[in-house]
Amino acid sequence: MAFDKQVHYELAANSVIDGNQERAVELTQEALDNGITAKEFLDNGLISGMDVVGARFRDGDMFLPEVLLAARAMKAGMELLKPELSKTNAKSAGKVVIGTVNGDLHDVGKNIVIYMLEGAGFTVIDLGVNVAMETFISEVKQHKPDILGLSAFLTTTMPAMEKVIESLQENQLRKQVKIIVGGAPVTECFANEIGADAFAEDAGTAVIVCKKMTKNG
Amino acid sequence: MTSRDRVNTAIKGKQPDRVPVWCLLSLEHIINWGTNDGRIPKTIEDLVKAECNLARRYHFDGSLVYLPGNKSGTRVDSFIGKTLTETPQGDSSHIFETADPEAWQKNIQPYQPEDFYSSHLTREILGNDQHLGGWAADGYSRALQWFPSLEDALLAMIDDPPRFKALVEYFDEQSVAWARAQIELGQLESIQISSPYAGSSFMSVEMYMQFVLPSVRKLAQAIKPVGGAAYLHTCGSISDRLETMAETDIDGMECMDPPPLGNVSLKEAKKRVGSRIFLKGNIDSVNVLLQGEDETIDKTIRKTIAEGMPDGGYILSTACSVSPLVPPERVCRLWELADQFGQY
């Protein structure tokens, strides 16, 4: 039976949606063996599956454990693609530096955003929790990301977001990076007030917004 | 009617003389506004006094003892300091694949009356007219926290459900012993079952029924025979599982976060489960009490009273805890408006 690319992409996407790690690896290997380029398979197979996961999660049709399984399947496939991708210098969807602001130890929401962004093909540098303002600045200088993501779960730590933005301005870095903010108490109004470029109320929306900001959406 | 009678009547789903008022306070709120100097309390006595100061100031009809199981003179400053400032890290020596929860069952230690000094001190300060409660996390939540990260925990739950359930059952036993001791030895009257990872952001209703419901039910069923009431505390969006939660044999439900933090309408919740369990909460501490204008605060509280009070079984409260920076005069509006508009 002839190898059908479209069918193979669909199977790969479904393996990610189903969180079937073994199947995702198997299909990735088969794709490479049949001459599909890593970039093509990533975009049309694995990422395509993760896009569905993102949409279903946003709509409440999929839940966190299933998203984690899907992200794990996607990452397993990605491992096989990495050597090929690095050879061809395939571009990622964009580079995102992300962290929970100073004084705040919550990371569940931020981590979900990371899984979803990685699933959508973004390169993500996770700074973790309780990230000092100076660290955000130095990491932006070092990595030159397209987007900086700031997360806060507490009303008491939300003002730290504004301080990071102010500091980026003082360091002449504000124009080179888009800023997205999020977290339970954060609202669009607050995002506008502090001068962020975007706000996302959930991880699925964060991916859509990041794609728009990098013009991949 | 005393405050205690008022709360106990509402807990039974009945109609007291007026809507009772009782909020859960965040630890930072207790420190910010309950102490004289805003510093972290050094001993359990200092913490209890700070909690009681606020319970009186806010005219609460009930109080939750924040650290219910502590001996006299226990230093709490280091624990509180860590809670507020350090990253909570899981112990990476917890290896799920080799864990033997069944063997651990034998190691649950019994409690002694002196372990509950902090509960007794709270009673001594607030007197017998106040309803006092404690809290216990359900076994599911404790199992999740046992893992190095939430991600590890949720993947383990999906990868190996039988072993994960055994882990939950072990923590269930611990939680049952702890909750019963608070009632029997600490002489508290209700237990808040803390179950924060069970809303629709975390899992489907089917997953809830499989992993969380048995854990909550076991705890609720163990609390009642020793004379305590059990109520469930789950944050976030839970509108799709109100009936399922009510099936856990709880007496009541707390939080019921409204949008944007959750999706619960109190009016609808009253219709759906209000005849089976008491309800507590539904006022957004952050977006209303902290960030709202005075007019919005009063309007929201009055609307909440109007929706919650019909036929009794409602306790006026913030959804989750009163957040750290909410000014005390705003918390006081709950009692002031309940007194004015919440009389039966």
d(CA A82, CA A14): 21
Q: What pLDDT is attached to residue B91?
A: 57
Which of A69, A129, A155 lies at the smallest CB-CB distance from B286? A155
A-B contacts at Cβ under 8 angstroms:
56
CATH 3.40.50.280 domain locations along chain A: 94-213
Comparing alpha-carbon positions, the chain B residue that sits nearest to A190 is B291
| Nearest CA-CA distance, residue B174 and chain A, Å | 25
pLDDT grade for B92, boundaries at 50, 70 and 90: low
Instruction: Tell me how far apart the alpha carbons of residues B275 and B314 are, in angstroms, rounded to a whole number.
Output: 11
Q: Residue A191 burial by CB count (10 A; 0-12/13-18/19+): exposed, middle or buried?
A: buried
The answer to whether the CB of B223 falls within 8 A of the CB of B191 is yes
**Residue B150 in contact with partner chain A when CB distance is under 8 A:** yes
Taking an 8 Å cut-off on Cβ atoms, the answer to whether A156 and B157 are in contact is no
Residue B28: list chain A partners with CB under 8 A: 156
Q: Cα dihedral sign for B40, B46, B49, B53?
A: negative
Instruction: Return the percentage of chain B with pLDDT > 70, whole number.
Output: 97
pLDDT exceeds 60 at position B301? yes
A158 touches chain B (CB under 8 A): no
Q: Which of B88, B150, B204 sits opposite A105 (nearest CB)?
A: B88
- H or E element that contains B132: strand B131-137
| Arithmetic mean of pLDDT, B287-310 | 96
Chain B interface includes A105 (CB < 8 A): yes
Return the C-alpha torsion angle B238, B242, B248, B249, nearest 10: 130
The residue of chain B with its CA nearest to that of A57 is B201
Q: pLDDT tier at B126 (50, 70, 90 boundaries)?
A: very high
- Residue A118: phi and psi, rounded to 5, are -60, -40
User: Could you read off the pLDDT tens digit of each residue along chain A, which spans 217 residues?
Assistant: 678 999 999 999 999 999 999 999 999 999 999 999 998 998 899 989 988 988 898 888 898 899 889 989 998 998 899 888 777 766 778 999 999 998 777 777 888 888 788 877 889 999 988 899 999 999 999 999 999 999 998 777 888 899 999 999 999 999 999 999 998 778 888 899 999 999 998 888 898 899 999 986 5
- B261 near B234, Cβ under 8 Å? no
List of chain B residues whose C-beta atoms are within 8 Å of the C-beta of residue A187: 260, 287
Which residues share a beta bridge with B254?
B233, B280
- The pLDDT value given to residue A43: 86
pLDDT(B93) > 70: no
Report whether A185 contacts A154 (CB < 8 A).
yes
- Residue A42: partners with Cβ closer than 8 Å, 6 or more residues away: A78, A81, A85, A90, A121
The tokens of B3 are what? 């405050």
Cross-chain CB nearest to B151 (options A68, A185, A201): A68
For CA atoms B37, B40, B43, B47, the dihedral sign is positive
Asked if pLDDT for residue B79 goes beyond 90, the answer is: no
Mean pLDDT, range B188-215, rounded to an integer? 94
Domain with CATH 1.10.1240.10 in chain A: 5-88
Residue-level pLDDT at A106: 76
| Token pair listed for A156 | 């008491």
Strand (E) or helix (H) holding B254 = strand B252-255
Cα separation, B301 vs B282, in Å, equals 9
Q: In whole angstroms, what is the distance from residue B206 CA to residue B196 CA? A: 17
Count Cβ atoms below 10 Å from residue A183 Cβ, excluding itself.
Answer: 26
Chain B from 237 to 266: CB within 8 A of any A CB: 240, 260-261
Look at A154 and B323 and tell me if their CB atoms are within 8 Å. Answer: yes
Residue B344 CB-half CA count within 13 A: 18
If contacts are CB pairs under 8 Å, which of residues 182-201 in chain A contact chain B? 184-185, 187, 201
Helix (H) or strand (E) holding A54: helix A47-58
Say whether pLDDT at B253 is over 70: yes
The answer to whether B200 contacts chain A (CB < 8 Å) is yes
φ, ψ dihedrals at B63, nearest 5°:
-140, 145
Could you give the 3-state DSSP secondary structure of residue B288?
Answer: helix
In this complex, the residue of B154, B200, B323 whose CB is nearest that of residue A60 is B200
SS (H, E, C) A110-167: HHHHHHHHHHCCEEEEECCCCECHHHHHHHHHHHCCCEEEEECCCCCCHHHHHHHHHH
Chain A residues touching B157 at Cβ < 8 A: 65
What topology does CATH give the domain A5-88?
1.10.1240
Angle, helix B294-308 to helix B328-341, in steps of 10 degrees: 40
Question: Measured between alpha carbons, how far is B321 from B330 in angstroms, rounded to an integer?
Answer: 14
- Which residue, B290, B291, B289, is CA-closest to B337? B289
**Highest CATH level, class, for B9-21+132-341:** alpha beta
The shortest C-alpha distance from A111 to chain B (Å) reads 9
Residue B275 clears pLDDT 70, i.e. is over it: yes
Average pLDDT on B67-73 reads 88
Interchain CB distance below 8 Å, A155 and B290? yes
CB contact under 8 A, B87 and A156: no
Of residues B181, B170, B168, the one with CA closest to residue B222: B181
**pLDDT confidence band for B289 (50 / 70 / 90):** very high
Q: What is the distance between the alpha carbons of residues B150 and B157, in angstroms, rounded to a whole number?
A: 11
Q: What is the pLDDT of residue B86?
A: 60
* CATH T-level assignment (fold) for domain A94-213: Rossmann fold (3.40.50)
Distance CA B72, CA A190 (A): 45
Q: What are the domain boundaries of chain B? A: 9-21+132-341
Q: Name the residue type at position B38.
A: G
- pLDDT attached to residue A153: 80
pLDDT computed for residue B157 by the predictor? 94
